[in-house]
Structure 1
Amino acid sequence: MKKLILLSAALIFSAAMTFAQPAKGSIAPEIILKNTSGVPVALSSLRGKVVLVDFWASWCGPCRRANKSLVSVYAKLKSKGFEIYSISLDDDAAAWKKAIVADKISWLQVHEKGWESTVSAEWKIEQLPTSFLLDKSGKIVAIDPEGRQLEQAVTKLLKE
C-alpha cells in the first residue's frame, strides 16, 4: 500500500511538472519562429543580451497598453544590450502587422497562429500578455515584470 501511495504521488508530481510554465531560474526553452519578413529567428540567437520574451496579440487590449510602456523602456535600453522577442498569437497575420505599425513597435516580432500553437503550449501560455525576462545567459529571472519594475530589473541585469 505504501508503495502504491508513493508511486501515485510520484506520477502526480511528474505530471504537474510536465504541464508547468517555465520557471524562474530555468533556462528558457528554445523558440524559432518567423519574423515579419518570414525569416526564422531563434530566441537563442539573442544570448548575451537581456531579453524580454513577450506573448501578445493585436486583439488583446492589455497587450496593446503594455506595448506603449515597452516602447519607452526599449528606446531607453536597447543600445545598452536589451532586446524584446515578441510572439504574436494572432490568427490573422495582417492584423498583427497592422498593430506593429499602430503601436510604433521597433523590436523583434515573430508570429505563431493562435492559442493552440506549439510554442504557446510549450510555454504554457494561459493569458495575454505574458512575459518572461531573461538574463544574458538565457535564464528566466522574472515572470510578467511591468513598467518601472521591468526597467529597474533590466538596468540591473545589464550591469552584470
Structure 2
Amino acid sequence: MKNSKIVRKSLMITMISLTIFSCKESNCEFEIAKNEFEVVLKTESKTDSLSMYPSFVSKKFLDSTYTMLFKEPIQNGIVKFKGDKPSHPVMFDILDDNIGLSDKFFIDNGSTELSVSFLNEDTKVIVSDNKKSKTQKEYELLKREGLDSIENLRSKADSVDERRKFSIIRDTLIVDFLNENPNSYVPLWLIANYFSFGSQQYNKLYDESMPLFSNEIKKTELFKNIETSLKEGRDFSIQNKELSLKNIGLADVQFKLSSLNNSKYILIDFWFSNCGPCLLEMPKYIPIYEKYKGVGFEIVSISVDKSSKIEDWKTIINEKGFNWIHYLDENGVETKKMNINSFPTTFLVNDEGEIIEKNMTSEKLKRFLSLKLD
C-alpha cells in the first residue's frame, strides 16, 4: 500500500512537470490552464503605449463583468496584453492615440501573435498563421468573401443613397454567413459593431436574423443586449409621441402625428442645417413632394439645430425651396430622447403611425409612392 502511494505521487509529479514543460514550449496549453489570454503585438508605432478595446462597440452591449480596456507600454517594438480568458470569442481593435484604430481581429483564448505597423498610417492587422483562433479564421473567410471590398466601396461612396446601398449589401452578406455558420461569433460582433456605428437605430434585417444564432450564442450577454436593443427599436412608434418643438415662426408647438390625419404616408426627416449628407438628400424630395403632396403624402422635417444656428436653418429652407412642413427641435432635446444621433435619419410611416421603413432612399420612396398613390 505504501509503495502504491509513492508510485501514484511520483506519477502525478511527473505529469505536472510534463504539462508545465509542454506549456512553456507552446504557451497555448499553459495559458488556457491559467484561464488567461495573451496578445503579443509587434508594432512600429511611435507612441509610448497602445490600447486594446472590445471592437469599440457600445458599452450597453458588453458584459459589464468583463474588462473594457487594456493599455500597455511598447517595449522594443512589442506590446503584451493579458487578461482573463473571455467566456466567448471577442472582437478587438488596437488604438494608437496618434493614428487611430487598427483593423479588427478576434481572440478566443490562449496566445495570439499579431502585428500592426501604424507606420505611415498602416492599420492592417496580420495574425500569425499558427496563432489564429477559430473565430479569426472565420472572420478572414468572410472578409475574403466580400466584406472588405464592400466596406471599401462604402467608404468611397459620394452620396447617402450609395452608402445605404452598400450597407444593405454588407448586412445581407453578414446574415448569409450567419445562416451557414450559426455557431460563429463573427456575425454577432459585426452586428454589434455596425449597430453601434449606426447610432443604434433599428435594423430590420439584423432583427429578423437573431433567431438564426445557435443556442450557445443566445446565452451570452452580448446576444441578449443586442436583441433587447433591436426589440426596443422594433417597438418604436411615433404615433402617440408628443414632441415639444418650434415652428418656422419660432412659436412653441406640440407636434403629434395624428395632426396629419389627412395624409396616408408621412416622411419624418431628422436633419440640421450644416449637415452635408442631409443637404445632398433633401433636394431629391422636392419633385417627389410636388407630385404627391395633394394625394396623401406629407414630409415633416425636424431640425436639431443649435440656438446659434436658427437663422441658418430658416435661410436654408427658403433658399433651397424645401416647401413642406418644418419644425425645430432646438438643440436636439426631443430627438435625443428617441436615441436619434445620426443625420439624416428618416422614417416613412403610415396614417396609423407604423414605420414602413427607416432611411428609405429617395428612389425607393418614389417607387413606393407611385405604387400606392398614382
Give the counterpart of 1:97 among 308, 314, 338. 314
Partner of 2:325: 108
Cα offset for 1:14?
A: 8.7
Partner of 2:302: 87
Cα offset for 1:17?
A: 6.0
Report if aligned partners of 1:132, 1:141 keep a CA contact under 8 Å in 2.
yes
Quick one: which amino acid aligns to residue 229 of structure 2? A
Assess, with a 3 A threshold, how the Cα gap between structure 1 residues 71 and 31 changes in structure 2: closer, same or farther. farther
Cα offset for 1:124?
A: 1.6
More helix by share: 2
Distance 2:246 2:352 in 1: 22
SS at match of 2:331: coil
Structure 1: runs of 5+ lacking an equivalent: 1-5
Equivalent residue pairs, number:
149
The structure with the largest alpha-carbon Rg is 2
Partner of 1:45: 259
Cα RMSD, aligned residues only: 2.7
SS at match of 1:85: strand
Partner of 2:247: 35
TM-score (norm 1): 0.78
Assess, with a 3 A threshold, how the Cα gap between structure 1 residues 156 and 39 changes in structure 2: closer, same or farther. farther
Higher relative contact order (CA 8 A, sep 6+): 1
Identify which range, 126-135 or 29-38, moves more after superposition: 29-38
Assess, with a 3 A threshold, how the Cα gap between structure 1 residues 156 and 28 changes in structure 2: closer, same or farther. farther
Structure 2: runs of 5+ lacking an equivalent: 1-218
Quick one: which amino acid aligns to residue 35 of structure 1? N
Distance 1:27 1:158 in 2: 23
Give the counterpart of 1:133 among 348, 355, 358. 348
Distance 2:328 2:279 in 1: 16
Cα offset for 1:125?
A: 1.2
Distance 1:52 1:157 in 2: 14
SS at match of 1:97: helix
Report if aligned partners of 1:48, 1:137 keep a CA contact under 8 Å in 2.
no
Quick one: which amino acid aligns to residue 28 of structure 1? I
Distance 2:301 2:365 in 1: 15
Quote the sequence identity (%).
Answer: 27
Cα offset for 1:72?
A: 1.2
Distance 1:58 1:34 in 2: 15
Report if aligned partners of 1:43, 1:85 keep a CA contact under 8 Å in 2.
no
CA deviations on 1:75-107 (whole Å, 9 max, x unpaired) are 111011100111001112111101101110110
Cα offset for 1:47?
A: 3.0
Cα offset for 1:141?
A: 0.5
Give the counterpart of 2:293 among 53, 78, 98. 78
Moved over 6 A (4+): none
SS at match of 1:137: coil
CA deviations on 1:92-123 (whole Å, 9 max, x unpaired) are 211110110111011000001234x12x1232
Cα offset for 1:70?
A: 0.8
